[in-house]
Chain A
Amino acid sequence: MLTIWIIFRREVAQYFASPLAYLIAAAFLLLTGITFNNDVALSITVKPVEPALIPDLLAEIMVLIAPLLTMRLLAEEHREGTVELLLTAPIADSSIVIGKFLSAWAYFTFLLALTLLYQFILVNISQPDIAHTIAAYLGIWLYGGATLAVGLLFSATTENQILAAFLSLITLLVLYFGDSAGQIVANLDVAAILFNLTLRGHYAPSFSIGVVRAEDVVYYAGVMAVALFIAIRLLESKRWRG
């Protein structure tokens, strides 16, 4: 646990020292801020405020943000050669991967926490459905964790950060839009299976409408566990490849 904490601390510090992380944060806040502003403006005359507005937006853009936040994590260790020192330090390989994953998730949590400012404003100017919002935030937090785990997995495959980001982007797009394939097959069961395999399939029909289902929590936890397990195995394989 201590070694996970040491890795985690270094990586979190790295996020707050990285210009790219600040750029991502700026873009993140700009996009969510504009969306929130438009929704508040519409709520005056057209419709009530959307409690899951920010989480719904993030469900779409995490496919782009997660690769950018995670591409550096292991690819940089490979490129700089520091992976050789990490793998010869008296620590478990899993500590390296878990520490790095938790740091990315913590940074995402920090970004997510910044958007709570919008909820604070809403509480003061209207009567939003708080429970619905909490469910949606829980959902997007798990959803974000799953996308970051996939990003980390591809960062373990190469020393080229751009390639790592590209591979994870493709994979996340498949996981995101996979349910579209369900719409073109003429079989409801197959369509349901495809939908249930996608990231959106466990967010849109539940967390987004304020429903917390155990199966969705298990799905995101499962994606994280599988991706991290493969990332650990990929890191271990470095020992065999030299």
Chain B
Amino acid sequence: MIVVKDLVRRYGTHTAVDRLSFTAQPGEIVGLLGPNGAGKTTTMRILTGFLPPTAGSVQVGGFDVQTDSLEVRRRVGYLPERVPVYPDMTVRGYVLFWARLRGVPRPAAAVEAVLKRFDLLDRQHKLVRSLSKGLRQRLGLAQALVHNPPVVILDEPTIGIDPGQVIEVREVVKSLRQEHTVLFSSHILSEVEQVCDRVVILHRGRMVAAGTPEVLGRQMKPGTHLYVALGGKAPAEIKKLLQKLDGVHTVREQGAGFVISSHGERDQRAAVTALSARHGLPLLELRPIELSLEDIFLTLLEKG
């Protein structure tokens, strides 16, 4: 549904997006993750047809954003980072305006449905200026979805709203998976982990990693990571014994036990149980652990 190939966008001498390539399939939620200035908004603006790319190609639904911009724009619903509103319009009038502008065949019915979906029906005659930030966010989502676009692009939709509304917006985004391809940007790692099927991590305009959060964990720190808690000896002695295991490169204390990391895909569980039996140390806990996206992100930024 979305195919981005070698995308470059420069502002003067500054390169905001540098040879970025990724795809998003129908029914998939792809997260763009990165700190401020990573190129997330620029990438999204190019995908919506707002900005032209300096080089590379972007296709949405089989249409090129440069040569078939209007066709692309028909297929995209977009919520910019700062929800753009007309403060003097009513909630209903605002959504109806965008529905008409995007050529929705029965705009009144579509507006009714989308206002109901975002629980704005009872506020439809209120002026937009009277809405709270959270309600404006819902209104922004309503305008982005009123024409039922196959592709939905949401630029940091949870920024600046309270925690309850953040959960609400995340649930809405997850519910879009059934009918839309969603591109979702955020700089909150846990959010992307919760919401997205795949993640593209950007830093200074370049893609530093891509994949599912689980795959990214394996990509960044190859090898298995085990949490081990052994009794019967002082922690320092246990640590020494664990360090001597073949293939183990790092042992660090965590809580009442240790996290051991080994090279490659080597599973150290058998070695740990053998060690426990050999030295008569009671095995209190042994489990594989996944790296959090936070760990991955920090590692990538250090490399970048």
Q: Which residues of A contact B (CB under 8 A)?
A: 2-3, 6-7, 10, 13-14, 17-18, 80-91, 239-240, 242
Chain B 22-54 against A: per-residue CB contact (8 Å), 1 yes, 0 no? 000000000000000000001001001111100
Q: Is the CB of A90 within 8 A of B52?
A: no
Shortest CB–CB separation between residue B128 and chain A, in angstroms? 10
**A90-B103 contact, Cβ under 8 Å, with A10-B97, A18-B88, A242-B42:** yes
Contact B97–A80 (Cβ < 8 Å) = no
Chain B 73-110 interface mask (CB, 8 Å, partner A; 1/0): 11010101010111111000100011011110000000
Contact between A80 and B86, CB atoms less than 8 A apart: yes
Q: Which chain A positions have C-beta within 8 A of B48? A: 88
Whether B84 pairs with A89 at a CB distance below 8 angstroms is no
A73 to chain B, nearest CB (A): 13
Complexed CA–CA distance, A22 and B278 (Å): 92
**A-B contacts besides A83-B84, A85-B143, A90-B70, 7 pairs, CB < 8 Å:** A14-B88, A80-B87, A81-B80, A82-B85, A242-B11, A242-B45, A242-B51
Contact indicator A81/B50 (Cβ below 8 Å): no
Q: Which 6 A-B pairs have the closest CB atoms?
A: A81-B84, A82-B84, A88-B48, A90-B73, A90-B74, A6-B100
Q: Which of B52, B74, B76 contacts A239 (CB 8 A)?
A: B52
In the complex the two chains form, is B101's CB within 8 Å of A91's CB? yes
Task: Count contacts on B: residues with CB < 8 A to the other chain.
Answer: 30
Binding site for A on B (CB under 8 A): 11, 42, 45, 48-52, 70-71, 73-74, 76, 78, 80, 82, 84-89, 93, 97-98, 100-103, 143
Complex interface: chain A residues within 8 A of B71 (CB)? 90
CB-CB under 8 A from B88, the residues of chain A are 14, 17-18
A50 to chain B, nearest CB (A): 40
What are 26 A-B contacts defined by CB distance under 8 Å? A2-B103, A6-B100, A7-B101, A10-B86, A14-B86, A14-B88, A18-B88, A80-B85, A81-B84, A82-B84, A83-B84, A84-B78, A85-B78, A85-B80, A87-B50, A88-B50, A89-B101, A90-B70, A90-B102, A91-B101, A239-B50, A239-B52, A240-B51, A240-B52, A242-B45, A242-B51
- A242 CA / B50 CA spacing, docked (Å): 8
Chain B, residue nearest A91 (CB): B101
Our pick among B49, B52, B93, B97 for the contact of A88 (Cβ within 8 Å) is: B49
Whether B97 pairs with A6 at a CB distance below 8 angstroms is yes
